[in-house]
Structure 1
Amino acid sequence: MAKSKIFRITPKPVIPEDEKAEMKRLFDNYKNSMKSLRQYFFEQSLKQAESGEVAQMKHRLEDQEHERLMEENRLENEKTAMLREERLKIQAEKTQKNVLASLIKKEREAKQHEIQIEDFLTKQMSTPFIQPENIEKAIEDALANPVNFNFALDLDGYVYRGKETSIDMIPEEKRERLNSN
Structure 2
Amino acid sequence: MFQVIGGRSVPAARLLAPRGAVLVEAVRGRKSRTDPVAKSKQGRVKEPPPVDPVEMVVLKERYTEYQLIMRALRLEFKEEVLRKKYEEETGSLAEERARQEAEEHGALMAWNNQENLRLLKLRLLRIQKETEEAERNKLEAAIQREQEQQEFIKEKEKEILQLQEDAKNFITWENLDQRIEEALDNPKNYNFAIDKEGRVVKQTVLQ
The equivalences for 1:69-148 within 5 A come to: 69-127=108-166, 128-148=169-189
- State the alpha-carbon separation in 1 of the partners of residues 191 and 114 from structure 2: 93
Q: Is the 8 A contact 1:151 1:161 kept in 2?
A: yes
Listed as ranges, the gaps of 5+ residues in structure 2 are 1-76
- State the alpha-carbon separation in 2 of the partners of residues 66 and 76 from structure 1: 15
User: Which has a greater percent of helix?
Assistant: 1
| 3-state SS in 2 of match to 1:133 | coil
Q: What amino acid sits opposite 2:164 in the alignment?
A: M
Aligned length: 123
Pairwise CA RMSD: 3.2
Q: Which of 1 and 2 has greater Rg?
A: 2
Cα deviation code 1:70-103 (max 9, x no counterpart): 2221122023203321332243134213312331
Q: What amino acid sits opposite 1:48 in the alignment?
A: K
- State the alpha-carbon separation in 1 of the partners of residues 199 and 141 from structure 2: 56
Cα deviation code 1:89-124 (max 9, x no counterpart): 243134213312331332133023212211211221
Q: What amino acid sits opposite 2:176 in the alignment?
A: I
- State the alpha-carbon separation in 2 of the partners of residues 88 and 95 from structure 1: 10
| 3-state SS in 2 of match to 1:147 | coil
Task: Normalising by structure 2, report the TM-score.
Answer: 0.48
- 2:100 counterpart residue number: 61
Q: What amino acid sits opposite 1:154 in the alignment?
A: D
Distance 1:62 1:123, change over 3 A: same
- State the alpha-carbon separation in 1 of the partners of residues 185 and 82 from structure 2: 131
- 1:48 counterpart residue number: 84
Identity in percent: 33
| 3-state SS in 1 of match to 2:174 | helix
- State the alpha-carbon separation in 2 of the partners of residues 61 and 71 from structure 1: 15
- 1:15 counterpart residue number: none
- State the alpha-carbon separation in 1 of the partners of residues 199 and 140 from structure 2: 58
